[in-house]
């Protein structure tokens, strides 16, 4: 919905640039954004805005953003028509698929896809059409451990308990810096305001982190922790809860399996034993446990630092074990499950029981790492390309991803991508990764696409629904991302570049409608699918599928069965969103485990505990380790080409504690050489006591100084690629997630 005067209009959209889903008020002059403000009437964000949100204007008008398809022959790039570009893709991919089979073409899906409705809905069409076992994404350099632990405990990958931050009295936070990230796996616009309110109502915030981050500075208490030891710390909390008889499961008592196993497993993690490993005083650990148990309502929340480490799944699991043992699982003010308007794996099927999750249905060719939720760990990608043999990856599709900057051992991946027979990238930039592509297919600008946060409204602190319609038409020569992905799907399915994408889209919708009417308990169960398809026929593309999901979701109108229910039309009439209320207790209905219980000690996780125990026995390790860090004006590698976000003080620096700097002979503002087993970088030093001794930090997503990328602003402030140091041999075995925090390094003056 827009208000207009002359050629100037005001429109409302959800910001697509991070997980917080803030409402934006945009003043448009013609097609151009003249002003960005927080939407004060947004039901969720109430006007909150961070610097990235205002940069939407620069992102839309960035002269380096590609607007037409590009084809590379040798080192020469040419702008071509869409038909020529797809014909080139067909010429490149089809022979590889014909000669070497489906696995010979890999696909990598980058993090921006989660912020993009078309990406969410149509990547899966392309994946299915491709049928390759070589599917990779940014999930295994990010949150996969949490998905694995949630899947094993609750039955589906996104059944992740979310801190009920607005009602809690005590928040213990590990490895997260929401004052810079604005929250992750926890959709909460205006995180700073919510933390202020927590403390204003007498609540307490405790942050556990190897860095005194911006969030830690605002906390009541900050505990430095040795990177990679969050699981030790959390297990010691569990040990204390049992030892001091502080365990109380509350309302979920009758819905939990494995309680005794957890007690047994925790016996080897007494605070006195793990304190030297974590570098947290044993009494501080006991106090943390007592405070969690004593708080009327408490929540433990952990994020990237606890996932991107060698014990990522154990740490992610223990977060929810502690929440459960303190009676805070599934209660107001504790951690709760979102019920999203578009439905999810834990709203379909039989309430309270399911098939659980299974991993390892296939293994990677070279290293034999298991598949997780349909994909392989991205630490395998380079070796699958550069190791000769049957089923070697020879072709590649990337969608909105820059794995050369965001995945481990990126020097090897960079070389591997250069060796491919053919690569096609769906991307708005010629960046460090897509410069290797033979064809780049740039999707439409943000304003020309509809937006709905399918993923983040599944992880939200309130149940919310908000749809942003396109506010400008496609420019001549622009193509919608949904059409690009459908046309690629037609090519890899063997239908040819000229096949009609609309026909495939119709097939997709009809398949989804069939599933909906056949799903037991669905609000359209047993209905005539043709009738539903006909109702949806006034729409096309992502909006048609979104309408179906909303109407068949938990609040949906069931295509007329509940006239007061949700549909896309209802959301179109609510430009500031619809608040569906605070989270409600959902156990046991939310569970989809085979037992119908919360599995507190799932077998794969219980078996991995021995590895953690062995790490205690190894004792205190004095090796210097590298961690990443987040900045408010950055999101992975995405926004480094926007001057408004990268200007000012250099941010890609090495944080070093003053004691380490003195010992190593390196000075603030000078340069240091950081070496790992995999590579080395020379980086500007920033001496600060905000980092604990023995730990250094470089933010990831930088390193824009490679030849062939067209990022003029980023190239002027390139920073260094910390993933040149990350080792593809270091990963969490349960989730395949890369170790990006706690990389052993040596630091020297350079």
Contact residues for ligand SF4, defined by CB under 6 A: 15, 17-18, 20-22, 49-50, 52-53, 182, 189
Q: List Cα–Cα distances, 71 to 76, 346, 441, 483, in angstroms.
A: 8, 43, 9, 18
Is 180 or 278 the residue whose CB approaches ligand SF4 more closely? Answer: 180
- Token pair in block for residue 255: 């819905």
Q: Name the residue among 404, 430, 431 with its Cα closest to residue 415.
A: 404
Is 645 or 674 the residue whose CB approaches ligand SF4 more closely? Answer: 645
Burial of 390 (0-12, 13-18, 19+ CB in 10 A): exposed
Least CB distance to ligand SF4 at residue 406 (A):
18
Is 186 or 321 the residue whose CB approaches ligand SF4 more closely? Answer: 186
Is 304 or 609 the residue whose CB approaches ligand SF4 more closely? Answer: 304
Residue number of the CB atom closest to ligand SF4: 53
Q: Name the residue among 533, 486, 605 with its Cα closest to residue 151.
A: 605
Least CB distance to ligand SF4 at residue 36 (A):
9
Least CB distance to ligand SF4 at residue 38 (A):
7
Least CB distance to ligand SF4 at residue 22 (A):
3
Q: How many Å apart are CA 548 and CA 539, to the nearest integer?
A: 10
Are 179 and 341 a contacting pair, CB within 8 Å? no
Least CB distance to ligand SF4 at residue 27 (A):
16
Is 182 or 490 the residue whose CB approaches ligand SF4 more closely? Answer: 182
Is 189 or 258 the residue whose CB approaches ligand SF4 more closely? Answer: 189
Least CB distance to ligand SF4 at residue 460 (A):
12
Are 703 and 432 a contacting pair, CB within 8 Å? yes
Sign of CA dihedral 40, 42, 46, 47: negative
Q: How many Å apart are CA 64 and CA 746, to the nearest integer?
A: 37
Is 183 or 210 the residue whose CB approaches ligand SF4 more closely? Answer: 183
Is 17 or 446 the residue whose CB approaches ligand SF4 more closely? Answer: 17
Is 52 or 704 the residue whose CB approaches ligand SF4 more closely? Answer: 52
- Token pair in block for residue 704: 């824009």
Helix count and strand count (H, E) for the chain: 26, 28
Q: How many Å apart are CA 276 and CA 168, to the nearest integer?
A: 31
Strand pairing class (625-627; 695-697):
parallel
Q: Taking the CA atoms of the chain, what radius of gyration do you get in angstroms? A: 25
Omega prior to 44 cis, within 30 of 0: no
Is 47 or 693 the residue whose CB approaches ligand SF4 more closely? Answer: 47
Q: How many Å apart are CA 313 and CA 100, to the nearest integer?
A: 35
Least CB distance to ligand SF4 at residue 184 (A):
10
Q: Name the residue among 675, 629, 622, 680 with its Cα closest to residue 653.
A: 629
Least CB distance to ligand SF4 at residue 17 (A):
4
Least CB distance to ligand SF4 at residue 53 (A):
3
Is 161 or 189 the residue whose CB approaches ligand SF4 more closely? Answer: 189
SS3 for 33-99 is EEEEEECCCCCCCCCCCCHHHHCHHHHHHCCCCCCCCEEEECCEEEECCHHHHHHHHHHHHHHHHHH
Would you give the distance in Å from CA 581 to the centre of its chain?
A: 24
Least CB distance to ligand SF4 at residue 562 (A):
31
Q: How many Å apart are CA 607 and CA 603, to the nearest integer?
A: 6
Give the three-state DSSP class for 626. Answer: strand
In the beta sheet, which residues pair with residue 675? 680, 746
In the beta sheet, which residues pair with residue 717? none
Are 593 and 599 a contacting pair, CB within 8 Å? yes
Is 133 or 178 the residue whose CB approaches ligand SF4 more closely? Answer: 178
Is 20 or 652 the residue whose CB approaches ligand SF4 more closely? Answer: 20
- Token pair in block for residue 43: 């039901």
Least CB distance to ligand SF4 at residue 632 (A):
8
Q: Name the residue among 154, 483, 345 with its Cα closest to residue 146.
A: 154
Least CB distance to ligand SF4 at residue 23 (A):
9
CB count within 10 Å of CB 260 equals: 10
Least CB distance to ligand SF4 at residue 452 (A):
14
Give the three-state DSSP class for 94. Answer: helix
Q: How many Å apart are CA 718 and CA 371, to the nearest integer?
A: 34
Least CB distance to ligand SF4 at residue 49 (A):
5
Are 668 and 661 a contacting pair, CB within 8 Å? yes
Is 20 or 583 the residue whose CB approaches ligand SF4 more closely? Answer: 20
Write down the H helix ranges in 370-500: 381-386, 403-406, 410-418, 481-492
């Amino acid at each position: 919905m827009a208000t207009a005067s002359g050629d100037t209009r005001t429109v409302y959209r959800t910001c697509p640039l991070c997980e917080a889903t803030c409402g934006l008020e945009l003043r448009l002059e013609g097609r151009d954004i003249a002003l960005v403000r927080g939407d004060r009437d947004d039901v969720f964000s109430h006007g909150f805005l961070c610097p990235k949100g205002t940069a939407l204007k620069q992102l839309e008008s960035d002269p380096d953003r590609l607007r037409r398809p590009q084809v590379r022959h040798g080192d020469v790039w040419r702008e071509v028509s869409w038909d020529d570009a797809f014909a080139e893709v067909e010429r490149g991919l089809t022979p590889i698929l014909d000669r070497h089979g489906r696995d010979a073409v890999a696909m990598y899906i980058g993090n921006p896809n989660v912020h993009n409705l078309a990406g969410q809905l149509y990547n899966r069409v392309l994946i299915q059409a491709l049928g390759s076992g070589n599917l990779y994404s940014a999930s295994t350099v990010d949150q996969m451990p949490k998905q694995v632990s949630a899947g094993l405990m609750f039955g589906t990958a996104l059944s992740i308990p979310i801190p009920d931050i607005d009602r809690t009295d005590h928040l213990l936070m590990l490895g997260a810096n929401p004052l810079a990230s604005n929250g992750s796996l926890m959709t909460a616009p205006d995180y700073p305001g919510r933390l202020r309110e927590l403390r204003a109502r007498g609540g307490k915030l405790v942050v556990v982190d190897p860095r005194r981050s911006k969030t830690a500075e605002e906390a009541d208490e900050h505990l430095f922790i040795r990177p990679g030891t969050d699981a030790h710390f959390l297990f010691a909390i569990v040990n204390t809860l049992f030892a001091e008889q502080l365990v109380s499961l509350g309302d979920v008592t009758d819905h939990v399996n494995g309680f005794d196993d957890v007690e047994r497993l925790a016996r080897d993690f007494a605070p006195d034993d793990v304190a030297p490993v974590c570098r947290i005083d044993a009494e501080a650990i006991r106090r943390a446990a007592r405070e969690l148990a004593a708080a009327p309502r408490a929540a433990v929340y952990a994020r990237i630092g606890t996932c991107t480490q060698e014990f990522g799944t154990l740490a992610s699991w223990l977060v929810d074990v502690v929440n459960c043992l303190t009676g805070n699982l599934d209660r107001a003010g504790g951690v709760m499950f979102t019920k999203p308007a578009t439905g999810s794996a834990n709203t379909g099927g039989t309430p309270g029981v399911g098939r659980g999750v299974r991993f390892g249905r296939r293994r990677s060719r070279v290293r034999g790492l298991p598949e997780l939720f349909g994909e392989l760990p991205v630490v395998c990608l380079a070796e699958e390309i550069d190791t000769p043999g049957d089923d070697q990856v020879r072709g590649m599709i990337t969608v909105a991803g820059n794995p050369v900057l965001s995945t481990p051992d990126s020097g090897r991946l960079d070389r591997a991508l250069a060796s491919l027979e053919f690569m096609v990238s769906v991307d708005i930039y010629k960046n460090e990764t897509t410069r290797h592509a033979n064809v780049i297919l740039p999707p439409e600008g943000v304003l020309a696409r509809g937006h709905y946060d399918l993923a983040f409204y599944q992880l939200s602190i309130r149940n919310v629904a908000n749809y942003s319609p396109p506010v400008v038409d496609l420019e001549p020569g622009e193509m919608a991302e949904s059409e690009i992905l459908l046309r690629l799907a037609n090519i890899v399915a063997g239908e040819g570049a000229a096949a009609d994408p609309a026909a495939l889209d119709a097939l997709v919708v009809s398949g989804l409608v069939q599933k909906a009417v056949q799903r037991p308990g669905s609000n359209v169960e047993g209905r005539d699918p043709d009738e539903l398809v006909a109702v949806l026929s006034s729409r096309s593309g992502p909006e048609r599928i979104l309408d179906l999901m909303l109407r068949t979701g938990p609040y949906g109108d069931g295509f007329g069965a509940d006239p007061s229910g949700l549909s896309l039309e209802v959301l179109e009439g609510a430009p500031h969103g619809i608040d569906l209320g605070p989270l409600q207790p959902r156990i046991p209905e939310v569970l989809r485990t085979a037992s119908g219980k919360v599995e507190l000690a799932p077998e794969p996780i219980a078996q991995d505990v021995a590895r953690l125990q062995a790490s205690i026995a190894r004792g205190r390790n004095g090796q210097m380790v590298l961690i990443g860090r987040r900045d408010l004006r950055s999101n992975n590698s995405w926004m480094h080409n926007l001057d408004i976000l990268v200007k000012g003080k250099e941010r890609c620096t090495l944080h070093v504690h003053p004691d380490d700097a003195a010992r190593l002979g390196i000075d603030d503002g000078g340069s240091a050489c950081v070496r790992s087993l995999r590579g080395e970088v020379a980086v500007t030093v920033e001496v600060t006591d905000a980092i604990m001794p023995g730990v250094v930090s470089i933010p990831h997503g930088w390193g824009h100084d490679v030849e062939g990328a067209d990022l003029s602003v980023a190239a002027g402030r390139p920073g260094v690629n910390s993933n040149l140091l990350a080792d593809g041999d270091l990963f969490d075995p349960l989730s395949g997630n890369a170790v990006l925090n706690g990389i052993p390094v040596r630091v020297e003056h350079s």
